Structures are given as C-alpha cells and as structure tokens.
Amino acid sequence: MKIAVVGTGYVGLVVGACLAENGNNVACVDRDAAKIDMLRAGRMPIYEPGLEEIVRRNHEEERLAFTTDLPAAVQDSDIVFIAVGTPQGEDGSADLQHVLGVAHKIGRALSKYTVIVDKSTVPVGTAARVKAAIAAETTQPFSVVSNPEFLKQGAAIEDFMKPDRVVIGSDDERSAALMKELYGPFTRTGAPIMMMDTASAELSKYAANSILATRISFMNEIANVCELVGADVDQVRRAIGSDRRIGTSFLFPGVGYGGSCFPKDVKALVRSARDKGYEFRILEAVESVNDSQKLKLVCKMQEHFGELKGRTIALWGLAFKPRTDDMREAPAISIINRLLELGAGVRAYDPEAADTARRLFGDRIALCEKSYDALNGADALAVVTEWNEFREPDFKRIKQLLKTPVVFDGRNIYSPEHMRALGFTYFSIGR
C-alpha cells in the first residue's frame, strides 16, 4: 500500500520504517527540514535500537522516503498517519494544535478517497475534530480512524513488528477493511486486531498508560513503607508478582516514571475527566507520588551527608529509561535541578543522552564521555537509569575513584549484601 506518515519522531519514524519493512511504500513527512535532510543523508535524528538498519535498508530499496512536502505525500497515499506530538497544554490537557493543523493541511491536499489515521495519543473526541477539520477543507471522500500506538521506546521495533494487539477505532467498513489489511502481516502470530468505536480506541491508550503509571507509583509507595517497617521490597515484589492476577511486570520501584508519555497522558486523562465533572482521584495521587519519588535519592543524600553544598555527585544515567536518548520528563532532570539548587556539583554520564543533556544543562553540569570519568573526585555515585553497562561494573575502580565509597542506587540494580561486603555505604529504594 502507499502510505504517508506525518511527524517523523520516535513514533512516526518507527511506524514508517516498519510499514516499509513489510513491503509498503512509505513517505515520512516532517516540517523540520533539518531532520528530513539528516534522514536523507542516512543519519538518524534519534537513538532507537535496530531502527537505523531498517531505515537504511528500506531507504536504499526506495520503499521509504523522507520529505517536507506534505501535499505531495498525501496525494500519493491510500492511508495517511498523523503521528505528530501532542504535548501537555498549560491546563494539563493534550495540546492538539499540531494534530488539527496537520488535519487542515491534509484536507487541502486530498485528491481521492483516503484513510486518515490518528496515531498520536489524543483525547476522546479528537477523531471527530480531525474529521471536521478535514471536511472544512475538501469535498473529497475520506475516513478518519483512531489507531493508538502502544510501542515502548527502547524496544519500539519489536513492539511494532510483533504487537500484543492492534487497536482500531473506525466508524465505517471501508476504512476498517483497509486497516485490517495493512496490519495483517504484523498479526500473523495471532495477536488480535481489535475493532471498536473511535472513543473507546482513544480512551484505551490513556487507560493503558495510566494503569502502568499507577503500578509504578503504587510500588514506589510500597517501597517507601518497606523502608519504614524494615521489609524488603524485592521480596514483596516477588511474592505478589507470582500471583497470576497481578503478574510480574511494572512492579519495580525506583526514582519515578518519566518520558514523553506517562506524565502527560496521566495529566490529560485527569483533565478530560475533570472537563466532564469527574475527579480522577487515583490518578491525581499517582502523579503526586511520582513527583516526590523523583527526589527520593536527593532526600537520601541529604540524610547521609547533611548539607550538599560543595559536594559533587556522579550520576550514571540521564535518559528517562535505558536504550533511548530521550530525556523528556526524566527523573534525572529533577534530580540535577535539585542538586544544583542545593549547591552541589554534578558529573554525569549516559551512553546515549549526553547531547540531549548538553542542550538542557549547558555547562552547569560536567558531562563525561566515559562512565568512570564521572566518578573522578565525586563524593558519591547515584544510579538513575538502569543501562545494562551499569549492572556489573568494576566496583574496585568505583571505590578508588570516589572520594567516599557511597552509592545511591535509584534502580535497585545492586545487591545490598554484596555492596556492604565490598565496603560501600549503600542506599537503594525500599530495601
């Protein structure tokens, strides 16, 4: 099929590349000309494991093109995905200006029947608004479909190529049939394509992210209680996770959730509910627990050192999670800002997010090229993102490089017994 994907970010680029990988002809559209030039030159604007190879291969085989020319891409397509950002607006709601702006442009470009797909995460009612925006610009026939994306950054290719399910909200047979055909090759392993109305499809995405965020905040509170009563959150996690009704995933406590999705999607759902006169009390608590949890390590540092003024803290990990360079809403940002406020210095290392951190913090923190360089002369090490390379480090070297052998482990990746045996003063979450 011929496809256009408008918005070539973490989602749009993965969707475009994976659709091309299965034989479709895809044009990835973005208004950011620098990004499009970069992709045409074979360079990647983001880090996502496995993506570069798929992009390069499909670009070389001329199934995947990059352009800023939205009208031409739309005119040449049977299906047009909208995958632009839906950032948080000032009142917490999803800001739809990019989605609706693109919808108007698509409307002006239509020259034949086309299916327009909302891939961006958007509140209930957006499919109807996109439909109205397009209808205001054209008399051509078209359908609007809601198809929320459930991929995880860091495992995006695998998630898109082998989804647990595909959710499609559609109000007419013609677009439903086309979408089923498009996703057929991705669901051969038996994953269901779930057809539903657009409102349910739109709400499904917010409900999914909100329940995951709820599990994280819930476990962070269990961890905080563990610390007070002398229990070990790891034991509790294993005990409850083995119950099939609960399951093992998303039960790891830490320094709170971040990223471009959970924080804004939780806020947007609270806001949508409030607009209908409903207070979503659980989600309000989920958010407030997360805000405090992001500063948990700094509190532990203050308890240990007293004043932090004049101390230097080494940070391992800046991205909001491993295997991405994305720092949007990352706990590392809250931690660094608080440390700087308290007069501490920060030396930081991340395998992929250093450029992003440089744009955010400039020379207010020292960004190191190598993990061990960050430890040089620091008073303590804080592990903020659980990249694999931090899991089995050279502890002897860590001890030699730090001024004092103190480790704050925000991801519980080390064993407390082992750390103590090695002579570290060791703090983790809920243990």
Ligand X SMILES: NC(=O)c1ccc[n+]([C@@H]2O[C@H](COP(=O)([O-])OP(=O)(O)OC[C@H]3O[C@@H](n4cnc5c(N)ncnc54)[C@H](O)[C@@H]3O)[C@@H](O)[C@H]2O)c1
Paired residues of 25 in beta bridges: 2
Q: How far is the CB of 150 from ligand X (least distance, A)?
A: 6
Q: Single out the residue of 261, 286, 330, 401 in contact with ligand X (rule: CB under 6 A).
A: 261
Indicate the Cα dihedral angle 60, 183, 101, 200, nearest 10°: -160
Beta strands (DSSP E) in 109-185 are: 114-118, 142-146, 166-169
Task: Indicate the helix (H) or strand (E) that contains 145.
Answer: strand 142-146
Q: How far is the CB of 101 from ligand X (least distance, A)?
A: 5
In the bound state with ligand X, the residue whose beta carbon lies nearer, of 32 and 279, is: 32
Place of tokens 């440390």: 339
In the bound state with ligand X, the residue whose beta carbon lies nearer, of 83 and 203, is: 83
The answer to the question of residue 93 lying near ligand X (CB under 6 A) is: no
Helical H segments across 5-45, by residue range: 10-21, 33-40
The answer to the question of residue 260 lying near ligand X (CB under 6 A) is: yes
Integer Cα distance of 4 and 112 in angstroms = 14
Q: Single out the residue of 3, 6, 176, 327 in contact with ligand X (rule: CB under 6 A).
A: 6
- Is residue 274 within 8 Å of 123, Cβ to Cβ? no
In the bound state with ligand X, the residue whose beta carbon lies nearer, of 79 and 226, is: 79
Q: Single out the residue of 3, 8, 336, 408 in contact with ligand X (rule: CB under 6 A).
A: 8
Q: How far is the CB of 106 from ligand X (least distance, A)?
A: 10
Catalytic site residue 261? yes
Q: How far is the CB of 103 from ligand X (least distance, A)?
A: 10
The answer to the question of residue 147 lying near ligand X (CB under 6 A) is: no
What the block records as the tokens of 227 is 């610390």
Q: What residues numbered 98-117 form the site for ligand X, per CB under 6 A?
A: 98, 101-102
Number of residues that bind ligand X (CB under 6 A): 26
CB crowding 58-74: b at 16 or more within 10 Å, else e: bbeeebbbbbeebeebb
Q: How far is the CB of 88 from ligand X (least distance, A)?
A: 10
The answer to the question of residue 129 lying near ligand X (CB under 6 A) is: no
**Side chain identity at residue 31, one-letter code:** R
Place of tokens 């995905």: 81
The answer to the question of residue 77 lying near ligand X (CB under 6 A) is: no
Report the SS3 class of residue 389: helix
Q: How far is the CB of 95 from ligand X (least distance, A)?
A: 10
**Side chain identity at residue 182, one-letter code:** L
The answer to the question of residue 48 lying near ligand X (CB under 6 A) is: no
Long-range contacts of 218-221 (CB under 8 A, 24+ apart): 218/286, 219/250, 219/251, 219/252, 219/253, 220/253, 220/254, 220/256, 220/289, 220/290, 220/293, 220/296, 220/429, 220/430, 221/289
The answer to the question of residue 202 lying near ligand X (CB under 6 A) is: no
The answer to the question of residue 149 lying near ligand X (CB under 6 A) is: yes
What the block records as the tokens of 156 is 């995006």
The answer to the question of residue 11 lying near ligand X (CB under 6 A) is: yes
The answer to the question of residue 365 lying near ligand X (CB under 6 A) is: no
The answer to the question of residue 322 lying near ligand X (CB under 6 A) is: no
Q: How far is the CB of 344 from ligand X (least distance, A)?
A: 31
Catalytic option among 28, 261, 299, 368: 261
Which residues are CB-neighbours of 76 under 8 A, at least 6 positions away?
2, 4, 27
Q: Single out the residue of 19, 51, 59, 85 in contact with ligand X (rule: CB under 6 A).
A: 85
Q: Single out the residue of 24, 25, 114, 121 in contact with ligand X (rule: CB under 6 A).
A: 121
Q: Single out the residue of 7, 107, 345, 430 in contact with ligand X (rule: CB under 6 A).
A: 7
Integer Cα distance of 293 and 334 in angstroms = 10
Q: Measuring CA to CA, which residue among 179, 88, 102, 171 is closest to residue 134?
A: 102
The answer to the question of residue 272 lying near ligand X (CB under 6 A) is: no
Closest residue to ligand X, judged by C-beta, is 9
Integer Cα distance of 397 and 413 in angstroms = 18
What does the angle CA 402 – CA 405 – CA 408 come to, to the nearest 5 degrees? 100
Q: Single out the residue of 1, 2, 22, 31 in contact with ligand X (rule: CB under 6 A).
A: 31
The answer to the question of residue 69 lying near ligand X (CB under 6 A) is: no
Q: Single out the residue of 36, 151, 335, 374 in contact with ligand X (rule: CB under 6 A).
A: 151
Q: Which stretch binds ligand X (CB under 6 A): 26-34, 195-203, 249-257, 382-390?
A: 26-34
Residues in the chain: 431
Question: Would you please indicate which residues are annotated as catalytic (active-site) residues?
Answer: 261
Q: In the complex, which residues of this chain contact ligand X (CB under 6 A)?
A: 6-12, 29-32, 35, 83-86, 98, 101-102, 120-121, 149, 151, 153, 260-261
